[in-house]
Amino acid sequence: MAATGFPDEMRNAGLSDLTAKAVDLVAEGKGRQRYEQAMKELDRSAAPDAQASGSPASESSSDGTGGWWLWSLIAVPALALTSLPTRALVRSRRTPSAIPQLVFATARAADEAGLRRRAEAEVPALGEAAQAADATTTPDLQRALDAYGAAGTVLDEARGLSDLAGVLALAQESRDALAGSRDLPLCFFDPRHGRTALRTGWRPLGRRERLDVAVCQECANALQARRAPEVLTDTDEDGRTVPYFELPAGRSVWAATGYGSLMSPLDGFHTRRSTTR
């Protein structure tokens, strides 16, 4: 993240652009490399400055740009810090500290960018697979195409992680229809965990009825050890971050379907469309 202020095009960037750049650098996997390269340049230009402190125009500042990334080193953390007291005031009733909120927001932005890229790659690949399918040997081709279309629509309108995860669930449903298989859906707790290993009974906190959900091996292990599995979160009406399945089913097609554990994502998508139109 410290490397985000280094590239030339980021010289006058605001905090949101710097954050976006940080996400890109992390995704690219070159953050450390860029940072180390910039630090080397910092060492090179700082040394002559120190020796020639009396000279009016040092090498690094003669073009007026030598110190800009130094500014960014100080300014980015400073900007982040100045925003903290405000956030702390706003959120102090709910959270003891605003810092985790900021960290979570950044991690969430990175998660979302990664998932969006994955979904954006998945949909066209699925389109090609559907196009290549033979109608005479693929009885569920129409369903595969429907799920493919729904995945594209959800991707276009996606407002966050839960929708992007829905693209994966719809894509999986489409692929299953193409293959003529009825495998278990993606993990109920977080579809990003991938294909599930088994179905199991699970009782949500504060509810009486048990749900029959499909879970990945890791989540199954967590449940067995009475640990909370890692869950995909969404935002409720009050702006709080909650497990996605705690939203009212009428508000979230993903809470209603459990990404395939409770209902087919495609059926949930159609039901939602017909009731909201």
| 21/193 with CB nearer Zn ion | 193
Distant-in-sequence, close-in-space partners of 269: CB < 8 Å, separation ≥ 6: 150, 153, 154, 170, 253
For the CB of residue 187, give the shortest distance to Zn ion in the complex, in Å. 3
Decide: is 187 part of the binding site for Zn ion (CB under 5 A).
yes
Other residues' Cβ atoms within 10 Å of the Cβ of residue 187 = 30
Decide: is 232 part of the binding site for Zn ion (CB under 5 A).
no
Q: Apex CA 137: angle with CA 135 and CA 138, to 5°?
A: 65
Decide: is 25 part of the binding site for Zn ion (CB under 5 A).
no
For the CB of residue 33, give the shortest distance to Zn ion in the complex, in Å. 33
End-to-end CA distance of the chain: 44
Decide: is 272 part of the binding site for Zn ion (CB under 5 A).
no
Size of the site for Zn ion (CB under 5 A): 5
Residue 40 sits at φ, ψ, to 5 deg, of -65, -45
Decide: is 266 part of the binding site for Zn ion (CB under 5 A).
no
Decide: is 189 part of the binding site for Zn ion (CB under 5 A).
yes
| 147/187 with CB nearer Zn ion | 187
For the CB of residue 84, give the shortest distance to Zn ion in the complex, in Å. 33
For the CB of residue 231, give the shortest distance to Zn ion in the complex, in Å. 9
Decide: is 169 part of the binding site for Zn ion (CB under 5 A).
no
CB-based contact 233:163 (threshold 8 Å): no
Identify the CA nearest to 67 among candidates 3, 5, 2: 5
CB-based contact 122:168 (threshold 8 Å): yes
Decide: is 171 part of the binding site for Zn ion (CB under 5 A).
no
CA distances to 95, 202, 209, 237 from 206, in Å: 22, 12, 10, 19
| 105/198 with CB nearer Zn ion | 198
The amino acid at residue 162 is: S
Kind plus residue range of the DSSP H or E element containing 234: strand 233-235
For the CB of residue 186, give the shortest distance to Zn ion in the complex, in Å. 9
- Region from 84-92, 105-113, 180-188, 251-259 binding Zn ion, contact rule CB under 5 A: 180-188
Decide: is 18 part of the binding site for Zn ion (CB under 5 A).
no
| 152/185 with CB nearer Zn ion | 185
| 19/172 with CB nearer Zn ion | 172
For the CB of residue 150, give the shortest distance to Zn ion in the complex, in Å. 23
Decide: is 216 part of the binding site for Zn ion (CB under 5 A).
yes
Q: How far apart are CA 215 and CA 221, in angstroms?
A: 10
Q: Which of 219, 232, 247, 255 binds Zn ion (CB under 5 A)?
A: 219
Decide: is 193 part of the binding site for Zn ion (CB under 5 A).
yes
Burial letters for 69-94: b for 16+ Cβ neighbours within 10 Å, e otherwise? beebbeebeeebeeeeeebbeeeeee
Sites of contact with Zn ion (CB under 5 A):
187, 189, 193, 216, 219
